[in-house]
């Protein structure tokens, strides 16, 4: 059982609003620092199934969620990979390791170099100062201060000539050259030349870009469909995008015409709905700007698996896309649904609940993480 002080600290650490605007981020995080020194703890991680049964024993000092049938795990100061039976498939010999993506995973050797391995543990030729996950059969790599791209064989298919690089998405990737951002295709040719302060991937046919301090939207011909005029901007979804102007936030169509009222804040909330804030409270509007869920809540998350957690009177519950309350406000904190279950902070600790609010896995573990591929990480206190 978790004591009151611990629960209070956990809520403070984890109750980070998921509605904060991220429109100024031109690229995802491109490098992850890896600690070489790990604290020794008697508590160990394992995995449970959806009944709460510990199906992979708690023998690991750290673990990551399952991805493509394998999970990264650490024993002592070394990382390896396990399968869903808890068997070691790739030995614990790496200084760092990341999840499998597109059949390949990044690992870091003793010297700090990064390379890729296949699921049979075979290393793909080539070592790099840093690298990103495989995406669409390619991954960015860095040597020195320059970035390029390799394929699944380890061959350098786009030379290391860029100052920054992001993952490929729909055959294109964001890169930086000469301190400006653009977009390249799979051959390394410019789709959008590097002429912008920031740029995002194409979404719904348009890419948002920042020029002279303002955001606008480009087409594939590097022409402004909507001229730079916004303080911040989000990607288009369902032919709509959230933007910030001098008057506040609103939602525009592909001609740049406002189709919603002005709000204190707007962010896309998935399933064709946008989170809006008015007078300190949150609700949702649809693609026509109609307020489908009134601004009643202190916080809301984006919709995931058709539902969204919300906070009301300092307690958390869950609503569906129509605003129906599926789980009344009763938890100290609630997380997104994954694989049909969500974590919820109860008086006794963190439990897993279904969309009817029934506790499926009681709070009997020191710490838990979301389900992925049918299993969830749990920390067992010795």
Q: How far apart are CA 188 and CA 16, in angstroms?
A: 38
Structure tokens at 331: 């938890």
pLDDT band of 42, cuts 50, 70, 90: confident
The neighbour count for residue 229, using CB atoms within 10 Å, is 14
The hierarchical CATH code for the domain 29-158 is 2.40.128
The residue among 350, 354, 375, 353 whose CA lies nearest residue 363 is 350
DSSP output for 180-239? EEEEEETTS-EEEEEEESEE---BTTBEEEEETTEEEEE-TTS-EEEEEEESEE---BTT
pLDDT tens across 80-109, in order? Answer: 999 999 999 999 999 999 999 999 999 999
Q: Is the pLDDT of residue 369 over 70?
A: yes
Structure tokens at 77: 């100061």
Kind plus residue range of the DSSP H or E element containing 156: strand 156-162
**Range 220-240 average pLDDT:** 98
| Whole-Å CA distances, 281 to 115, 242, 373 | 47, 18, 35
Q: How far apart are CA 216 and CA 211, in angstroms?
A: 8
Strands 156-162 and 44-48: unpaired
The neighbour count for residue 30, using CB atoms within 10 Å, is 15
Given this model, what pLDDT does residue 217 score?
98
Give burial (CB, 10 Å; 0-12/13-18/19+) of 13.
exposed
Q: How far apart are CA 3 and CA 125, in angstroms?
A: 50
pLDDT band of 6, cuts 50, 70, 90: very low
pLDDT tens across 300-326, in order? Answer: 999 999 999 999 999 999 999 999 999
Identify the DSSP state of 30. -
Given this model, what pLDDT does residue 277 score?
98
Residue of higher predicted confidence among 24 and 230: 230
The residue among 173, 176, 235, 245 whose CA lies nearest residue 207 is 235
What values do phi and psi take at 260, rounded to 5? Answer: -125, 170
Structure tokens at 293: 């869920």
Kind plus residue range of the DSSP H or E element containing 14: helix 4-14
User: Which residue's entry shows tokens 């390619």?
Assistant: 138
| Whole-Å CA distances, 51 to 89, 305, 345, 362 | 25, 20, 18, 10
Q: Is the pLDDT of residue 1 over 50?
A: no
Return mean pLDDT, the chain: 91
pLDDT tens across 178-190, in order? Answer: 999 999 999 999 9
Kind plus residue range of the DSSP H or E element containing 12: helix 4-14
**Least confidently predicted of 14-28, 58-72, 122-136, 240-254:** 14-28
CB distance 360 to 349 below 8 Å: no
The residue among 269, 265, 264, 237 whose CA lies nearest residue 252 is 237
The residue among 296, 295, 300, 246 whose CA lies nearest residue 268 is 300
3-state secondary structure 229-269: EECEECCCECCEEEEEECCEEEEECCCCCECCCCECEEEEC
Q: Is the pLDDT of residue 379 over 90?
A: yes
* Reported CATH class of domain 1-18+301-374: mainly beta
Identify the DSSP state of 4. H
Domain 1-18+301-374 and domain 29-158, same fold? Reply is: no
> What does the domain layout of the chain look like in residue ranges?
1-18+301-374, 29-158
């Amino acid at each position: 059982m978790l004591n009151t002080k611990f629960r209070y600290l956990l809520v403070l650490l984890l109750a980070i609003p998921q509605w904060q605007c991220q429109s100024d981020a031109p690229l995802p995080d491109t490098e992850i620092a890896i600690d070489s020194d790990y604290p020794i703890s008697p508590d160990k991680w394992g995995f449970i199934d959806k009944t709460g049964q510990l199906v992979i024993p708690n023998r690991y000092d750290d673990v990551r969620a399952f991805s493509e049938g394998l999970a990264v795990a650490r024993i002592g100061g070394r990382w390896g990979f396990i399968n869903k039976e808890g068997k070691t498939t790739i030995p614990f010999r790496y200084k760092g390791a990341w999840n499998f993506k597109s059949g390949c995973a990044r690992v870091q050797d003793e010297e700090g170099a990064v390379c890729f391995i296949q699921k049979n543990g075979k290393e793909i030729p080539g070592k790099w100062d840093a690298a990103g996950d495989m995406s669409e059969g390619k991954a960015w790599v860095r040597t020195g201060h320059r970035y390029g791209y390799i394929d699944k064989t380890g061959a350098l298919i786009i030379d290391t000539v860029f100052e920054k690089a992001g993952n490929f998405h729909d055959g294109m990737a964001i890169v930086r050259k000469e301190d400006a951002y653009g977009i390249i295709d799979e051959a390394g040719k410019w789709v959008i030349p590097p002429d912008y302060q920031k740029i995002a991937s194409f979404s719904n046919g348009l890419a948002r870009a920042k020029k002279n301090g303002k955001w606008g939207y480009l087409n594939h011909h590097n022409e402004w469909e909507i001229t730079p005029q916004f303080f911040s901007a989000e990607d288009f979804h369902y032919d709509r995008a959230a933007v910030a102007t001098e008057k506040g936030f609103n939602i525009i169509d592909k001609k740049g015409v406002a189709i919603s009222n002005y709000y204190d804040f707007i962010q896309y909330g998935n399933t064709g709905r946008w989170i809006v804030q008015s007078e300190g409270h949150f609700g949702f509007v649809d693609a026509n700007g109609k307020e489908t869920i009134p601004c009643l809540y202190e916080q809301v998350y984006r919709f995931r698996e058709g539902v969204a957690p919300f906070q009301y009177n300092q307690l958390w519950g869950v609503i569906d896309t129509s605003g129906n309350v599926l789980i009344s406000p009763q938890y100290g904190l609630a997380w997104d649904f994954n694989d049909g279950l969500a974590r919820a902070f109860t008086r006794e600790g963190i439990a897993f609940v279904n969309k009817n609010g029934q506790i499926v896995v009681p709070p009997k573990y020191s710490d838990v993480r979301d389900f992925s591929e049918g299993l969830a990480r749990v920390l067992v206190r010795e």
